[in-house]
Structure 1
Amino acid sequence: MTSFSEFAGSLTYDAIPEAMRAVLRRSFADTLGVAAVGSTTEISSITKTIADRLWRSSPEIAARMIFDGRPVSPAGAAYAGAFTIDSIDGHDTTSPCKGHAGSAVFPALLAVADSLRASGAALSGEELMVALAVAYEVSYRAGLTLHGTVSDYHTSGAWTAVGVAAGVSRLLRLSQEQTRHAAGIAEYHGPRSQMMRCIDFPTMLRDGVGWGAPSGVMAAYMAELGFTGAPAITAEGQAAAPWWSDLGQAWRVVEDTSYKPYPVCRWAHPSIDAARDLMRDNKLSSEDVARVRIQTFHYAVRLAGHNPKTLDEMSYSIAFPVATMIVRGKIGPQELLPQVLQDEEIRRISNATELVETEHYTRISVGKRWADVTLYLKDGREIMSEPRTPKGDRDNPMNDDEFHQKYATFTDGLIGKDRADEMEAMALSFDALDSQGLSRLIDLTVAPLDC
C-alpha cells in the first residue's frame, strides 16, 4: 500500500488520469464563479478585514487575497479565501464525505502559489495540477476515514486541513517525513467542529474550511522548519487502512465529486429539482400551489428554515429554497439578496411546506441524497414527483453549457465579461499554462471585483 506521504511526494503529472484532471479543471472554474459572488458577502468582508489586520506578511512571501488584491500571509489569504468561497454554498461537493474540498483546497494552494511567485519560485500549471490532485485525494480519503471511525459529524474543515497540508507540502517540496509531520500538525490543530451545530443554528461559522485551510497551510510551513506532529490518524492510523489501501490506483475524487446548480446546501437540491420539474412540466405558477410536502432523509429535515432571517439561515434551509424555486423558477445570486427573505409569496409557500423524514430515504442517503415532492394545488389536485437525487451527481451531470451558464450568472455584474471569459478559459486549461500563464491567471483571480 502506498503511504499518503509517498503519494504526495512522488506523484507525477503523467500519472494523473485524464478524468481526474478534468474534474480539477472544472472545479477550478466553478470555484472562481462562486468566489466572485462570495466576495460580496459580509462574511468575506469581515474575514478579509481580519486577515489584513492580523495576518500581514513581508513582501517577499506575501499572498494576495482572492478578488481583493491586498497582500497578507499565505495563511491569511487561505483563511479569507476559504471563508469567501464557503459564504456562498455553491462550490463542488462530495456526498460520501458529506462535505466539500474545493472551498479549502483552491484558496489555500492558490495563496501558496502566489507567495512562491513573490519569492521568485513561480509554478507551472502542471505543478499546480499535481499539488491540487494530492490535496483533493488526501482530503477525500481523510474525510472518509474520519466519518467512518468517529461518531460525531465533523465539518469539512476537519479533514480538508489534512489534504491542504499534503498539497502545500508538495508545493514546498517537503520530504516524505516532513509531509507526515505537516499532516499530523494540521489534523491535530485543525477544526473538529460539529456540522449539525451549524445546521441547527445557522450563522457565519459555516463548514469549518475557514480554519481548515489556514491550519493546513501553517502546518506545512511549520513542518518545513522542523516542527513535528506525525502521525495523522486519519491517514496513518490502523483503522484508516480500508480507505487508503488503493491510493494511487483508484481516484476517489473522480468517483465522488459532484456539483451544485444552486448556491444552497446540497441536501436541499433533490427537493428543489423535483419542485422545479413539477412546476415546469405541469405549467404551474406559484399561485396554483396551496401547500407542499417534502419527503426526504433525516439530515435534510433538520435544515427546516421556513422563515430565514439571514443569508446563512437561507443557505442551510430546505423549505425556503424550494419555495423560492416554486415562485421564481430559479435560485441564483439574485435570490441571495436580502429582499428575497421578505418576499411574501415565497414566505407563503415556505410556511405551507411540510417536511417529512422517511426511514427509507434516511437509509439510502449515504453516498446519494434522496427526496420527493408533492404539490397540493388550490384546485384540489395532488401532483407528486418520482424519488430523485440531485442534478450535478455523476449519474446526472451538469453539461458544459450548464456549467458556463452558472459561471456567467455568478460573475455577471461583478467581473467584466472580457476578464471573466479569460479567467474561465484559463481555469479550464490551467495545467497547460507555463509559469507566466499561471501567474496571469492568479493575477485575474486576486484583482478586486470590477463592480
Structure 2
Amino acid sequence: MTISVTEFIQTIRYQDIPEDVLAVMRRSLLDTIGVAAIGTTTRISNIVKEFARTQMPAGVDSAASRLLFSGLTVSPVGAAMAGAFTVDSIDAHDGYSKVKGHAGSGIFPAVIALIDDLLRQGKDVSSQDLLVALIIGYEVGYRSGLCMHGTVADYHTSGAWTAVGAAAAGAYLLKLDKEQTRHALGIAEYHGPRSQMMRCIDHPTMLRDGVGWGAPSGVSAAYMAQLGFTGAPAITAEGEEAKPYWDDLGQRWEVNNTHYKAYPVCRWAHPAIDAVQDLMKDNNLVSTDIERAQINTFHYATRLVKHAPKTMDELTYALAYPFAIMAVHGEIGPKQLQESILQDKEVQRISTATELVDDAHYTAISIDKRWADVTLFLNDGRELQSDARTPRGDPDNPLSDKEISDKFHLLADDIIGADRAHKIEALISEVNFDLPQLLTLITDKY
C-alpha cells in the first residue's frame, strides 16, 4: 500500500522501524558526532559559530539551542546552521552514492537544534524520538534528492534536499498536522539552497556541500509552517514525476544505502586511496620507491583539485594530493589534517607525478558506486596495477562496527577527551538512552 510522505511522517513510530534501519541510524549518530567533534577545530566552524552568535542569537523568552561542543546558546536556526557547517568542514561524514551527497551533515545538526529547544521548554522528547526524527530526515531527504537528481538537469549540493529532510524531521518533532507538514516540506524545498555542486568541486572554498544553509532552511520551514506559513507542494515529493521515487515509502528503506567514509576527504578519491594503500602494503613499498603513478577514474573525480592544493578546503576536494598522502604516510587522519601537510615535499612530489585519466567506462558505471584503478610506476622499472576498486564503507563492503568505533575515537578523543567520547559511545549503544545527558555531552564546551 502506497502512503504519502506526509502520512509517513504523521504515522511512523519507533516500533514500526526495522532493526537494521535503527542499527544504521545508531551508527550514523556516532559517526557524525565524531566528525562534529573534530570539525569544531576548523576555521569554518569558528567563523560560522561567531556569525550565529552575533546574527542569530537567542532572544529573551524565545527558542534557544546550544551549539555543538561549544556551550554557547543561539536560536535553533543558528544552531542548525553552525552545526551543519561544523560537520561539513571535515569531509568524513556519511553519505549515499546514488543520491550524490550526504544526509547526516545537515539532518543531524537540524534535529539536535530542534530537540535541544524542545527539552529546554520541558517537552517530553525521548531517545527513540531522536532516532525516529533522524530516520525520517534521512529517508525523506534521500528520496527528495533522488527525485531532484532524476528530474532536474543541474547537479545540486546536498543542501538542496537535506533542507526537505530537515523539515520532515522538524514536522515530526513539532507534531505538525498533515497540512502543516505538507507546507513545511514545500517551504524547505523552495527556500533550500539549489547550489551547484561542480562549482564547489572546481572552486573549493568554505561553501562546501550546501548543508550550511540546507539545515537552517529545513528548521525554519518547520517553525514557519507551525505558525501558518504556506508553501506546498514540494515538487520532489508530490506529482507524477515524483511518484516513482516514493511508491515504496515505508516498505523499502533508502536509509540502508548509507555509506561511511574511511578518510576525511571527498569520497570520489577513496577508491584510488584504498588501491594505493593496498599496493604499498602488499609489495612492502615506501613512497621513495615510486617514480610516478596513474589513476584511471570517472569524470567527476578527475575534476577534483589536481596536484597542489593551497588550502585545506582545496585538499578536501582533491584527488592526487590525498592519494599521495596515503602513499607517503600510510594514513589520512587527524595528523594529516594540519595545514603543514600542504608543504610536505614528498607528498608534493608524488602528487605532481600522478596522472589523472578520465575513463569513459568508469564514468558510465559510477552511479551507485565510485570506480577507479591505480598503476604505480616504480624506480626499478616495475609497474604495479590494482584491480578496479570501489570505496570501502559501501553497504556491500561495509566498515565494521569496530572500524566505525575506532574512527569515532580517532576523530573525537584528542578533541573532547577519551572519557567523554567513551560516555557518548556507551549511551548511543543503549536501547533507551538518557537523551538530555547525550545532548549535554555533545554541546558542553570541551
TM-score, L = length of structure 1:
0.97
**Could you tell me how far apart the structure 1 residues matched to 2:258 and 2:135 are?**
13
Aligned equivalent of 2:29: 28
1:193 aligns with one of 189, 192, 195: 195
**Could you tell me how far apart the structure 2 residues matched to 1:428 and 1:312 are?**
33
Say if 2:303 is the partner of 1:306: no
Q: How far off its partner does 1:58 sit? A: 3.1
Aligned equivalent of 2:405: 404
- Number of residue-to-residue matches in the alignment: 444
> What is the SS of the residue equivalent to 2:415?
coil
The amino acid that maps onto 1:308 is P
Aligned 1:213-232 pairs, distance under 5 A: 213-232=215-234
**Could you tell me how far apart the structure 2 residues matched to 1:285 and 1:130 are?**
47
Aligned 1:159-308 pairs, distance under 5 A: 159-254=161-256, 256-308=257-309
Q: Percent identity?
A: 59
Does structure 2 conserve the Cα–Cα contact (< 8 Å) formed by 1:26 and 1:428?
no
Aligned equivalent of 1:442: 439
Deviation track 1:267-315 (CA, whole Å, cap 9, x = no partner) reads 0000000000000000000000010100000000111431001111000
Runs of 4+ off more than 4 Å: none
**Could you tell me how far apart the structure 1 residues matched to 2:338 and 2:411 are?**
13
More divergent stretch after superposition (298-307 vs 102-111): 298-307
The amino acid that maps onto 2:409 is A
Give unpaired runs (5+ residues) of structure 2. Answer: none
Aligned equivalent of 1:343: 344
Deviation track 1:18-55 (CA, whole Å, cap 9, x = no partner) reads 11100100000000110011000000000000000011
Does structure 1 conserve the Cα–Cα contact (< 8 Å) formed by 2:170 and 2:222?
yes
**Could you tell me how far apart the structure 2 residues matched to 1:306 and 1:418 are?**
39
**Could you tell me how far apart the structure 2 residues matched to 1:115 and 1:445 are?**
14
2:148 aligns with one of 146, 149, 153: 146
**Could you tell me how far apart the structure 1 residues matched to 2:54 and 2:130 are?**
29
Q: 1:325 to 1:59 in 2, by over 3 A?
A: farther
Say if 2:365 is the partner of 1:356: no
Does structure 2 conserve the Cα–Cα contact (< 8 Å) formed by 1:306 and 1:350?
yes
> What is the SS of the residue equivalent to 2:98?
coil
> What is the SS of the residue equivalent to 1:374?
strand
**Could you tell me how far apart the structure 2 residues matched to 1:8 and 1:69 are?**
31
The amino acid that maps onto 2:11 is S
Q: How far off its partner does 1:403 sit? A: 1.1
**Could you tell me how far apart the structure 2 residues matched to 1:395 and 1:182 are?**
35
**Could you tell me how far apart the structure 1 residues matched to 2:263 and 2:428 are?**
21
Say if 2:34 is the partner of 1:37: no
1:91 aligns with one of 70, 85, 93: 93
**Could you tell me how far apart the structure 2 residues matched to 1:282 and 1:37 are?**
33
Aligned equivalent of 2:115: 113
Q: How far off its partner does 1:130 sit? A: 1.4
Deviation track 1:391-440 (CA, whole Å, cap 9, x = no partner) reads 101111111221111111101321111111001221233x512xxx1000
The amino acid that maps onto 2:195 is S
The amino acid that maps onto 1:273 is D
Say if 2:372 is the partner of 1:368: no
Aligned equivalent of 2:74: 72
**Could you tell me how far apart the structure 2 residues matched to 1:388 and 1:55 are?**
45
**Could you tell me how far apart the structure 1 residues matched to 2:272 and 2:239 are?**
38
Aligned equivalent of 1:420: 421
**Could you tell me how far apart the structure 1 residues matched to 2:361 and 2:60 are?**
56
> What is the SS of the residue equivalent to 1:236?
coil
Q: How far off its partner does 1:176 sit? A: 1.1
**Could you tell me how far apart the structure 2 residues matched to 1:109 and 1:351 are?**
43
More divergent stretch after superposition (57-66 vs 81-90): 57-66
> What is the SS of the residue equivalent to 1:413?
helix
The amino acid that maps onto 2:445 is P
Aligned equivalent of 2:133: 131
Aligned equivalent of 2:3: 2
The amino acid that maps onto 2:320 is A
Give unpaired runs (5+ residues) of structure 1. Answer: none
**Could you tell me how far apart the structure 2 residues matched to 1:89 and 1:315 are?**
7
**Could you tell me how far apart the structure 1 residues matched to 2:267 and 2:377 are?**
25
Does structure 2 conserve the Cα–Cα contact (< 8 Å) formed by 1:305 and 1:313?
no
**Could you tell me how far apart the structure 1 residues matched to 2:393 and 2:194 are?**
28
RMSD of Structure 2 on Structure 1 (CA): 0.9
Aligned equivalent of 1:317: 318
**Could you tell me how far apart the structure 2 residues matched to 1:144 and 1:365 are?**
15
**Could you tell me how far apart the structure 1 residues matched to 2:308 and 2:413 are?**
28
Aligned equivalent of 1:432: 432
> What is the SS of the residue equivalent to 1:238?
coil
> What is the SS of the residue equivalent to 2:414?
coil
Q: How far off its partner does 1:350 sit? A: 0.2
Q: How far off its partner does 1:131 sit? A: 1.2
> What is the SS of the residue equivalent to 2:394?
coil
Does structure 1 conserve the Cα–Cα contact (< 8 Å) formed by 2:139 and 2:253?
yes
Deviation track 1:346-384 (CA, whole Å, cap 9, x = no partner) reads 000000000001111000000100000000000010000
Does structure 2 conserve the Cα–Cα contact (< 8 Å) formed by 1:59 and 1:118?
no
More divergent stretch after superposition (152-161 vs 401-410): 401-410
**Could you tell me how far apart the structure 2 residues matched to 1:130 and 1:395 are?**
24
Does structure 1 conserve the Cα–Cα contact (< 8 Å) formed by 2:305 and 2:315?
no
**Could you tell me how far apart the structure 2 residues matched to 1:428 and 1:28 are?**
10
The amino acid that maps onto 1:187 is E
> What is the SS of the residue equivalent to 1:432?
coil
Aligned equivalent of 2:15: 14
**Could you tell me how far apart the structure 2 residues matched to 1:342 and 1:214 are?**
36
Say if 2:79 is the partner of 1:82: no
> What is the SS of the residue equivalent to 2:187?
helix
Q: How far off its partner does 1:59 sit? A: 5.5
The amino acid that maps onto 1:416 is G
Q: How far off its partner does 1:84 sit? A: 0.1
The amino acid that maps onto 1:220 is A
